[in-house]
Amino acid sequence: MAAGRRAAVLLLLCLLAGGLLLSVAPGDPGALRLRGVGVLWWYTFLAAPLAGLAVTVPALATRSAPPAASVAFWVSPVVPAVVAARVFDGAADAPVVALAAALAPLLALLVARTPAAPADVGTRLLGALSAALVLGAGLSVLAGVGTLLHLPTAAVVAVATGCAALATLLPRVPAAAVRDLAFGFGGVGFIVLIAAAGLDVGVAPWVAWRDVASRPALVFDPASPAVLDGRTILRATTLTFTEPHRITARAPGVYRVTEGARPHEWRLRAGDSLELRPGDRLLLEAGARLTFEAGKRVPTAPVSGVAWADPAERGAGGATARAAGVVLSVLGGAMALVPPVGAATGARAILGVTLAVGLVLAAGSLGIWSVGTAPELALGAPPLVAPLALPPFLLGARWGRAWMILCALALLLLLTAAAAALSGAARGGATGGARHGQALGLVVLVVAAATAVWPGDPWRVGVAGLGLAASAVAAPRLGGGGRGAALGGALAGTLAFGGLALAAPWLPAWAAALGAYPALVAAPLAFAASLGGRVAATGRG
């Protein structure tokens, strides 16, 4: 690696470490306000990404740079959706997730190199399984957008999988053209759509952040449709109330309330009301439609603006391990799944990484605008897609639906680009040529489609795929050595990852981060095993 790239890689690692320190350091220095916005948020959404681009662009400005769409797999719909959703939810790891998502592809492109020999079958299959989980999470996001449009999940997954399969089956040159066009139009279209939503909100993201962080409570606005016309619950959900609240049914249905340990069932007609007390849990079935009280806290939102901006969980026990688990899984996954697939001009590579970082920043802005405008968007919404319901909230049913359709098309293009990039990488390393690469790509899509229709949180599925790639592919590769050492490292990493993932429900509280992010143990173990194999082989030589 040239000296310039080594320096860029070192600085990017320092930027990631700086975000981790700001997030978990004692005294919470990241909560200090600069012009009303937390230092950690300025660092995550402005300083670190711009600095990362500033050092990466010169390093990629050569004719031997990877092509622009080498990062296409990285911006599968799950990445921008996760960033927007974590910011919207006020999750403790939201800044770390956004920082890792923005910087990981830059690092992956700087350190990526075409392998001297094709990877062994076991490593390629593990990488394919990891990619399938990430693509499956992206398909789940598309299915969630389809739910907002009242489209059947199975139909959305089938159409998206079909489009991705067509891109996978194309010959090498047309597939590369499709990937580049889908990546460009999908990425630019998504950013433009979010910018249009921001123009309708009428304030800059940092102004919206400052407004939300100063609120004593996140409540239902008197002009909210959830107060005036009623909100339809799209998926079964349970709401826990922290203050007295009256709900009114807008359609007949059964409402189940748990008071302490005592469940009650109420059959309400349209117009009937139900009084809820602090601590009550209300179970709502999909399709229920009801109104809420203006000025009352939103049950799914943080209790206050301060709790959203700087959640107490950030300084709680295990926060350091959880933040490190996010960074290790995301960074290792990017290094395994963002391979170089050929040469291109430096300008194309620069456009690719700029677009990838822009998607992350746009998604974070959407999350801030959404929680500031309508914190109730998460009520009964599918996982990860609540912020995408902001434009219909602002524009009304007709224009809001048009925005959602365009957003779904942009995400579909990103998914197609991701599948085409995966196909190109697979063919590049396939020992049996293009046909084997195409077959592997189709198998990955089938597994991804099966994952997408399985109930669960797409974020957990996606981070599991990234963590497995970090443990079974990236860590053994970094350990060096021949095929035997790499295979030994991959086996050790896979077994450790699978064991911790399966044991997660039974791990004690102090080890919960290891169950959520098994790569914390599996990746270092895989690296050590691969390095040990290389040392042993050198000693025998």
pLDDT, one tens digit per residue, over 110-167 is: 886 544 445 567 778 888 899 899 999 999 999 999 999 989 999 999 999 998 888 8
3-class SS string, 63-93: CCECCHHHHCCCCCCHHHHHHHHHHHHCCCC
Question: Can you give the pLDDT at residue 116?
Answer: 41
Please tell me whether residues 352 and 242 are part of one structural domain.
no
Please tell me whether residues 528 and 494 are part of one structural domain.
yes
Please tell me whether residues 35 and 181 are part of one structural domain.
yes
Please tell me whether residues 201 and 230 are part of one structural domain.
no
Alpha helices for 149-259 (secondary structure H):
153-169, 172-201, 205-213, 225-228
pLDDT digits (tens, 9 = 90+) for 402-448: 999 999 999 999 999 888 877 655 444 443 445 666 677 788 888 89
Domain that holds residue 249: 225-291
Closest C-alpha to 138, from 89, 188, 90, 75: 75
How many CB atoms within 10 Å of residue 162?
Answer: 11
Closest C-alpha to 449, from 162, 149, 126, 144: 162
Q: Do the domain assignments include residue 212?
A: no
Model confidence at 328: pLDDT above 80: yes
Please tell me whether residues 262 and 311 are part of one structural domain.
no
Please tell me whether residues 120 and 262 are part of one structural domain.
no
Q: For residues 228 and 187, give the distance between their C-alpha atoms in angstroms, rounded to a whole number.
A: 36
Q: Do the domain assignments include residue 216?
A: no
Let me know: does 142 contact 412? Beta carbons within 8 Å.
yes
pLDDT digits (tens, 9 = 90+) for 251-292: 888 889 988 778 888 888 988 999 999 989 999 888 899 999
pLDDT digits (tens, 9 = 90+) for 353-362: 889 999 999 9
Q: For residues 97 and 45, give the distance between their C-alpha atoms in angstroms, rounded to a whole number.
A: 11
Q: Do the domain assignments include residue 266?
A: yes
Residue 3's contacts (CB-CB under 8 Å, 6 or more residues apart) are none
Token pair 């304030």: residue: 203
Q: Do the domain assignments include residue 462?
A: yes
What is the domain count for the chain?
2
Question: Can you give the pLDDT at residue 428?
Answer: 42
Q: Do the domain assignments include residue 297?
A: no
Please tell me whether residues 283 and 327 are part of one structural domain.
no
> Which range among 102-111, 467-476, 478-487 shows the weakest confidence by mean pLDDT?
478-487
Question: Can you give the pLDDT at residue 83?
Answer: 96
Please tell me whether residues 509 and 477 are part of one structural domain.
yes
Question: Can you give the pLDDT at residue 360?
Answer: 94
How many CB atoms within 10 Å of residue 304?
Answer: 17
Residue 456's contacts (CB-CB under 8 Å, 6 or more residues apart) are 140
Let me know: does 418 contact 73? Beta carbons within 8 Å.
yes
Please tell me whether residues 39 and 95 are part of one structural domain.
yes
Q: For residues 353 and 58, give the distance between their C-alpha atoms in angstroms, rounded to a whole number.
A: 12
Question: Can you give the pLDDT at residue 432?
Answer: 43
Joined tokens for residue 196: 């249009």
Indicate the pTM of the whole model: 0.91
pLDDT digits (tens, 9 = 90+) for 196-252: 999 999 899 999 999 999 999 999 999 888 998 889 898 889 999 999 999 999 988
CATH of the domain at 282: 2.60.120.10
Q: Do the domain assignments include residue 135?
A: yes
Q: For residues 514 and 48, give the distance between their C-alpha atoms in angstroms, rounded to a whole number.
A: 27
> What's the average model confidence in pLDDT over 83-93?
94
Please tell me whether residues 391 and 313 are part of one structural domain.
yes
φ, ψ for residue 78 (rounded to 5)? -70, -30
Confidence category of residue 76, pLDDT binned at 50, 70, 90: confident
Please tell me whether residues 426 and 316 are part of one structural domain.
yes
Boundary-marking domain end, from 236, 270, 291: 291
Let me know: does 270 contact 252? Beta carbons within 8 Å.
yes
Q: Do the domain assignments include residue 387?
A: yes
Closest C-alpha to 388, from 80, 99, 136: 80
Q: Is the dihedral of CA 151, 132, 92, 201 positive or negative?
A: negative
pLDDT digits (tens, 9 = 90+) for 301-319: 999 999 999 998 887 767 8
Boundary-marking domain end, from 237, 269, 291: 291
Please tell me whether residues 284 and 313 are part of one structural domain.
no
Token pair 């399966």: residue: 502
Let me know: does 146 contact 234? Beta carbons within 8 Å.
no
Q: Do the domain assignments include residue 299?
A: no
Boundary-marking domain end, from 269, 291, 313: 291
